Amino acid sequence: MSIAPRTELRSLRANMLLPGVYAWFSTVAYPAFATSSGLARTFAVLSACALLAGAWFLRSRPVVGRAFGVYAFIGFALATWVSVGSGLQLLGASPVRPAVGALGWLLFAFGWGYLRQRGNVPEQDPRAIPGPPLVPRAELSPLTSLVFALSLLGSLGILALAWRVERPAQALLAHAVAAAAVVWLMSASARVSTSLGEKKTLPSARRRFNAAARALSGLILAFAVGSVWILLR
Amino acid sequence: MTGRLIDVLSVVLLLVALLAFAGGIYSLGVAKDVQALYLLIIGALALRSATDLLRPAGGVR
């Protein structure tokens, strides 16, 4: 970070500042300045100052820059929302504004992330330890991509289904459950799909089956209860 | 051969979990809360079974 050329630094600052300013205007400044709460306005201004300070310290002190630009910015934004109180309902007056705000925060998160620069070869880094290239110990099964793609599509479907829930309390629950389920599903599907056809690192079939016996028994019991429930209805 | 069957079983359980979670969220949308809870439990158990089938040798008691 400290050796970044000037144009690259400008680009980094723009990547961090623009989405942050967009998120701040759409979700922090709007409710804070639409209500008469002085405390909320103070926190909103402090939040914007933290974002600017984060971009300012980006080159000279990256850790301080991140502390201001991420933690302090989000912290003051949260404090703004708490002090606005019921005025926060202004954000939900139309479905467009929350969606725009969510997009702003998504871009903000991407803006603070790092990607390998185009044309940059990691092995050419002076700190890289030279050696022969590492050869993969096994090849992935052709089914790996298919299983992972199905899980990914299904997970997107689950997230979309959560938006169909209209009752407010259940809608919140649906979004929370959908997010947790998708994280768990993607993690499990990565393990399941990459282990297809794997022989060396997995124990014998009997031991694998025994390891899952408790969860499988619970699943069979749940299916049995469900069948009885359907019969009795 | 048995190892291949267990691989297939873990994929089937993963898909069952996916469908159960989707069904659970859909049921919440049509105000069938008990059905939603049941399907979410099925999804959790199926996903746990799918990952337990892959538990490495050191993790098996």
Query: What are the tens digits of pLDDT across the range A163-210?
Result: 888 887 788 889 889 999 999 999 999 988 888 867 666 677 778 888
Ramachandran category for residue A197: left, alpha or beta (phi over 0 → left; psi -120 to 50 → alpha): left
Contacts of A165 in chain B (CB under 8 A): 25, 28-29
Q: Which of A63-67, A152-156, A212-216 has the highest mean pLDDT?
A: A152-156
- Checking if the pLDDT of A128 tops 50, the result is yes
What does the block give as tokens for B51?
């990952």
Q: What is the mean pLDDT of residues B12-18?
A: 95
Residue A200's pLDDT is 61
Distance CA(A4)–CA(A106), nearest Å, equals 25
Residue A45's pLDDT is 95
- Checking if the pLDDT of A43 tops 90, the result is yes
Residue A213's pLDDT is 85
Contacts of B20 in chain A (CB under 8 A): none
Please tell me the distance in Å from B11's CA to the nearest CA on chain A: 7
Distance CA(A80)–CA(A30), nearest Å, equals 11
Please tell me the distance in Å from A229's CA to the nearest CA on chain B: 10
| Residue B30 DSSP symbol | T
Q: What is the mean pLDDT of residues A45-72?
A: 90
- Checking if the pLDDT of A138 tops 70, the result is yes
Output A84-88 pairs: Cβ under 8 A, ≥24 positions apart: A84/A31, A84/A32, A84/A35, A84/A37, A84/A40, A85/A37, A87/A31, A87/A34, A87/A35, A87/A37, A87/A40, A88/A31
Contacts of B43 in chain A (CB under 8 A): 181
B33·A191 Cβ contact <8 A: no
- In terms of Cα–Cα distance, which of A85, A55, A87, A86 is closest to A69? A55
Residue A101's pLDDT is 83
Residue A32's pLDDT is 86
Please tell me the distance in Å from A202's CA to the nearest CA on chain B: 5
Chain B interface disruption, residue of A189, A223, A229, A233, most B CBs within 10 A:
A189
> Could you tell me the end-to-end alpha-carbon distance of chain A, in angstroms, rounded to an integer?
65
Residue A124's pLDDT is 75
Residue A2's pLDDT is 46
Is B32 within 8 Å of chain A by CB? Answer: no
Residue A117's pLDDT is 66
- In terms of Cα–Cα distance, which of A221, A217, A198, A201 is closest to A209? A217
- Checking if the pLDDT of A13 tops 60, the result is yes
Contacts of B6 in chain A (CB under 8 A): 205, 208-209
Kindly report the length of chain B: 61
Residue A92's pLDDT is 65
Residue B60's pLDDT is 43
- Checking if the pLDDT of A46 tops 80, the result is yes
Of B45, B54, B60, the CB nearest to A195: B54
Chain B interface disruption, residue of A177, A201, A208, most B CBs within 10 A:
A208
Residue A218's pLDDT is 93
Q: How many Cβ atoms from other residues are within 10 Å of residue A17's Cβ? A: 19
Distance CA(A185)–CA(A62), nearest Å, equals 35
Residue A210's pLDDT is 82
Residue B59 pLDDT grade (very low, low, confident, very high; cuts 50, 70, 90): very low
- Average pLDDT over chain A reads 84
CB proximity list for A217: less than 8 A, separation 6 or greater: none
* A152 contacts A186 by C-beta, under 8 angstroms: yes
Is B37 within 8 Å of chain A by CB? Answer: no
How many residue contacts between A and B have a Cβ separation below 8 Å?
135
Q: What is the mean pLDDT of residues B13-25?
A: 95
Q: At what angle do helices A6-23 and A38-56 cross, to 10 degrees?
A: 160
Closest chain B CA to residue A156:
B22
Distance CA(A188)–CA(A186), nearest Å, equals 5
Q: What is the mean pLDDT of residues B15-34?
A: 94
Contacts of B51 in chain A (CB under 8 A): 188, 191-192
Burial of A42 (0-12, 13-18, 19+ CB in 10 A): middle
